[in-house]
Amino acid sequence: MSYIFGVGGYLQNLYWGEPVNAEDCAELMEVNFHSSFDPDTNLDREEFTCWNGRSFAEPCLKLQQGGESVVFTEFAGWEIFNGQEGVQTLRITLEDKIREFQLILEYVVYEELDIISRKAILNNIGGPLMIENFQSAALSLPQLERPFIRYVTGKWAGEFVINDAPVNTGVFTMQSKRGMTGPHFNPSFAVYEEGATEQNGNVWFGQLAYSGNWKISVEKTIFDNIRVIGGMNDSDFFKTLGQGESLETPEFFFGFSNGGFGGMSRKLHRFQKAHITTASKPRRVLYNSWEATAFDVNVKEQMKLADKAASMGVELFVVDDGWFGERHGDNAGLGDWTPNAGKFPNGLGELISYVNGLGMDFGIWVEPEAVNPDSCLFRAHPDWIYHIDGVEPMQSRNQYVLNISLKVVREYLLGMLRSLLAQNNISFLKWDMNRMITDLGSCDGVDHRELWRAHVDALYEIWGTLRREFPQVELETCAGGGGRIDLGILRYADQSWPSDNTDPYERLFIQEGFTNFYNPGIMMCWVTDTHPSYRRSGRRDISYKFRSAMCGGLGIGSNIGSLTAEELSLYSSHIDEYKSIRHIVQNGRLYRLLLPGNSPVSAVQYISESDEESVVFAFLHSQKFGDPCKRLKLQGLSKNSRYLVRTAGSEESDRVYYGSTLMHIGLPLSLKGDFDSALLKIKKLGE
Ligand code: GLA
């Protein structure tokens, strides 16, 4: 893509989109004058708008000094250097002579991945500045005939729902004010021209790397200029910056695709795998009994489950909530991170050795940021929670939030985690956070409005420390399902938990929304017995459940203790199958062939990094009038190569076709009835 801006009176954006030759663009940076009634039309395209009482576009910076908010920045210089990871970085310096500060706009250009990241840094040279709003960037789009925006919204057990809406004149805002990323909105956007599809159309997209209060606004002005402004939410935001102090925004990543939403997703996935998510190994097939046993975990039952899990090929055995303190339900024990003596009389070691002896790794659930009032930790330190003096703090899921911005709390938690990980052979932490942050009261002289960000900084510090000190321990980001998934936390995470909704059909929708913006290599999906919030019969076909879950990182959450021998062997063969294709799913390129909302049949295809292999998962929700499925057209193959196509489970199905045949005529699908599925394995044979 090209992204062009320059100094035309002030720092203004000229263009973002299809590559163009920038050499002849300078003269296009003219100052438009509409009328004396609208003298400010050009300011619509300012690269970083400072509120000064004259620029009326949504501001990126608003501050006060001595009761005045007037800020006029001037271009003062630029430099290009190799920044983090040796990536080419452009740094623009703006200066405000009245207020004596420097504003740095930084652009990191991931050229071969076609992604740029922007952030801003404010260096205060003069007297104290009261910052009220400091956004990461404003991204100007070209003027579009019929602009639309795609974004994802959600709630518990219903995350990553895709929304498409026209971009109308005015300001549309998505945000979080709850101290955490989501799940109500996710900090990702795609603006597109009406008619864009999975394969076609121009899409301008971006993602914010921040796990706290954030805001992305899409502004379309009366002159049809569109800007996307993103960063930390200015709602309840405040920061005093003393002389010599600096403030840095989170990064805002953006790109452009002329290949529709599929093209956008593949660019984001490729970028995330190269620069954000840290996993160097494949996702292990895990077992977790949360949906089967809930809080009722104990060493004997877990050992029995471990036997079964190992026999079916599980690689990582995870004990979820309920293993510690007096945690028999969600109303007590949170905060007391020592194994419950009744459930684990010999500590965790006994189970861990047993699990390791069966050839599996061991992982465990924690929720360090929260505490039940009914816990030893809270009784000992009632002042460690966020609270407003004189106000009864709100409980949510019977818990409070610990003020981890306090050094003493942070160090306590790090100490607890260090000893848990040092004393036990734990190779995976599922880090949960099951409530929003409320009752933020000023504390130790720190204005409460600074604590929103302090919480996120403290969280990143703890995760960063764990990564450094325990590099062998993998981390999963979970927050009551998919409440904390963003490029900020994913820098430290190996995988994520998109939703507590493990219904294999509803998951197809969640997975579509998730993979629009995040890579399937970090998307954990479990095979379970029931939907967590309501019991449903039907939808029990084991292969359907497995294939839905194999579209990401596979986990098992069923009550495997009660499976029949026949079911157990089906589980084993699906797990084996997954292991043979997971490199394609986790590291390959994803093509969403048919979307679950558009027809009863949906399908996704993955192509390996080497281009030699591909897999297709197809799902039929329910057949009507005995209608046969339409032929399924594949994507991303080389048209003159021949491919061997095998339907999993039936070797006699082997057929050879040219890539062009598979992509333009398509494959017959013989799905029937309700909740049927197929897995196709495809190998390139050559030309
Ligand atoms: C959250 C998580 C679940 C499970 C429970 C435990 O809801 O999303 O996967 O860990 O907490 O209490």
Residue among 367, 500, 501 to mutate when testing ligand 1 (max atoms within 8 A of CB): 500
Beta partners for residue 385, in sequence order:
402
pLDDT digits (tens, 9 = 90+) for 9-27: 789 999 999 999 999 998 8
Q: Is 290 in the pocket of ligand 1 (CB under 6 A)?
A: yes
Ligand 1 atom closest to Cα of 497? 8
Q: Is 677 in the pocket of ligand 1 (CB under 6 A)?
A: no
231 neighbors 134 (Cβ within 8 angstroms)? yes
Distance between CA atoms of 7 and 10, rounded to whole angstroms?
Answer: 5
Beta partners for residue 391, in sequence order:
none
Distance between CA atoms of 617 and 638, rounded to whole angstroms?
Answer: 20
Q: Is 231 in the pocket of ligand 1 (CB under 6 A)?
A: no
Max mean pLDDT among 337-341, 499-503, 561-565 falls in: 337-341
Question: Which pair of tokens denotes residue 358?
Answer: 């069966």
Q: What's residue 609's pLDDT? A: 97
Q: What distance in angstroms lies between residue 232's CA and the mean position of ligand 1's atoms?
A: 27
Mean local confidence (pLDDT), 643-671: 94
Q: What's residue 626's pLDDT? A: 93
Distance between CA atoms of 355 and 365, rounded to whole angstroms?
Answer: 16
Dihedral angle, C-alpha 285, 270, 644, 576, nearest 10 °: 0
Residue 215: half-sphere exposure toward Cβ, Cα within 13 Å: 21
Mean local confidence (pLDDT), 185-191: 98
What is the DSSP secondary-structure string of 410-445? HHHHHHHHHHHHHHS---EEEE---S-------BTT
Q: What distance in angstroms lies between residue 206's CA and the mean position of ligand 1's atoms?
A: 29
Q: What distance in angstroms lies between residue 484's CA and the mean position of ligand 1's atoms?
A: 13
Q: Is 434 in the pocket of ligand 1 (CB under 6 A)?
A: yes
Q: Is 480 in the pocket of ligand 1 (CB under 6 A)?
A: yes
Mean local confidence (pLDDT), 486-506: 96
Q: Beta-carbon neighbour count of residue 558 at 10 Å?
A: 22
Phi/psi region, residue 288 (left: phi>0; alpha: psi -120 to 50; beta: rest), is: beta
What is the DSSP secondary-structure string of 453-489? HHHHHHHHHHHHHHHHH-TT-EEEE-BTTBSS-STTG
Q: Where does 358-410 show beta strands of DSSP type E?
A: 361-366, 370-371, 400-401
pLDDT over 60 at 434, yes or no = yes
pLDDT over 90 at 167, yes or no = yes
pLDDT over 60 at 453, yes or no = yes
pLDDT digits (tens, 9 = 90+) for 538-551: 457 999 999 999 99
Name residues whose C-beta falls within 8 Å of residue 566's C-beta, 6 or more positions apart in sequence. Answer: none
Q: What distance in angstroms lies between residue 539's CA and the mean position of ligand 1's atoms?
A: 23
Backbone φ and ψ for 88, nearest 5 degrees, come out as -60, 130
Alpha helices in 193-312 (DSSP H): 260-275, 290-293, 299-312
Q: What's residue 538's pLDDT? A: 45
Phi/psi region, residue 416 (left: phi>0; alpha: psi -120 to 50; beta: rest), is: alpha
Nearest CA to ligand 1 atom 1: 480
Nearest CA to ligand 1 atom 6: 321
Ligand 1 atom closest to Cα of 320? 10
pLDDT over 50 at 234, yes or no = yes
Name residues whose C-beta falls within 8 Å of residue 20's C-beta, 6 or more positions apart in sequence. Answer: 2, 4
Q: What's residue 278's pLDDT? A: 74
Q: Is 476 in the pocket of ligand 1 (CB under 6 A)?
A: no
Q: Mean pLDDT for the chain?
A: 95
Q: What is the pTM of this model?
A: 0.98
pLDDT digits (tens, 9 = 90+) for 640-653: 999 999 999 887 88
Question: Which pair of tokens denotes residue 158?
Answer: 């219903």
Residue among 334, 365, 531, 533 to mutate when testing ligand 1 (max atoms within 8 A of CB): 365
Dihedral angle, C-alpha 497, 503, 509, 510, nearest 10 °: -10
Q: What distance in angstroms lies between residue 398's CA and the mean position of ligand 1's atoms?
A: 14
Nearest CA to ligand 1 atom 11: 480
pLDDT over 90 at 520, yes or no = yes
Ligand 1 atom closest to Cα of 330? 12
Q: What distance in angstroms lies between residue 480's CA and the mean position of ligand 1's atoms?
A: 6
Q: What distance in angstroms lies between residue 283's CA and the mean position of ligand 1's atoms?
A: 20
Name residues whose C-beta falls within 8 Å of residue 67's C-beta, 6 or more positions apart in sequence. Answer: none
Residue among 318, 320, 366, 398 to mutate when testing ligand 1 (max atoms within 8 A of CB): 320
Ligand 1 atom closest to Cα of 500? 8
Distance between CA atoms of 555 and 318, rounded to whole angstroms?
Answer: 10
Q: Is 506 in the pocket of ligand 1 (CB under 6 A)?
A: no
3-state SS assignment for residue 506: helix
CA separation, residue 254 to residues 81, 196, 265 (Å): 20, 18, 12
Q: What's residue 537's pLDDT? A: 46
Q: What distance in angstroms lies between residue 45's CA and the mean position of ligand 1's atoms?
A: 44
Q: Is 643 in the pocket of ligand 1 (CB under 6 A)?
A: no
Q: Is 320 in the pocket of ligand 1 (CB under 6 A)?
A: yes
pLDDT over 70 at 533, yes or no = no
Q: Which long-range contacts (CB under 8 A, 24 or more apart) does 391-394 make?
A: 391/439, 391/441, 393/438, 393/439, 394/438, 394/439
597 neighbors 563 (Cβ within 8 angstroms)? no
445 neighbors 145 (Cβ within 8 angstroms)? no
pLDDT digits (tens, 9 = 90+) for 378-411: 999 999 999 999 999 999 999 999 999 999 999 9
Q: What distance in angstroms lies between residue 481's CA and the mean position of ligand 1's atoms?
A: 7
The distance between the two most distant Cα atoms of the chain, rounded to a whole number of Å, is 82
Nearest CA to ligand 1 atom 12: 321
Q: Which amino acid is at 238?
A: F
Residue among 289, 321, 501, 525 to mutate when testing ligand 1 (max atoms within 8 A of CB): 321
pLDDT over 80 at 332, yes or no = yes
Report which of 669, 679, 574, 680 is spatially closest to residue 623, judged by C-alpha positions. Answer: 669
Q: What's residue 650's pLDDT? A: 82
Distance between CA atoms of 233 and 118, rounded to whole angstroms?
Answer: 17
- For the chain, percent helix, then strand, then coil, each to nearest 5? 25, 35, 40
Q: Is 431 in the pocket of ligand 1 (CB under 6 A)?
A: no
Q: Is 478 in the pocket of ligand 1 (CB under 6 A)?
A: yes
Q: What percent of the chain has pLDDT over 90?
A: 91
Q: What's residue 369's pLDDT? A: 98
